[in-house]
Amino acid sequence: METHQQIGLPDWYGPLAHRGLAVNLGMEMLELSRERVVATMPVDDRTRQPFGLLHGGASIALAETVASFGAAIHIDRERFAAVGLEINGNHLRAKSDGIVRATAVPLHLGRSTQVWSIEIVDEKGRLVCVSRCTLAIVPRDRAK
Query: Of 2, 28, 64, 119, which residue is the catalytic one?
Result: 64
| Catalytic residue flag (residue 64) | yes
Q: How many CB atoms lie within 10 A of CB 73?
A: 18
Do the beta carbons of residue 69 and residue 13 sit within 8 Å?
A: yes
- Cβ contacts of residue 56 below 8 Å, gap of 6+? 49, 89, 91, 129
Q: Over the Cα atoms of the chain, what is R_g?
A: 15
Q: How many CB atoms lie within 10 A of CB 36?
A: 14
Active site residues: 64
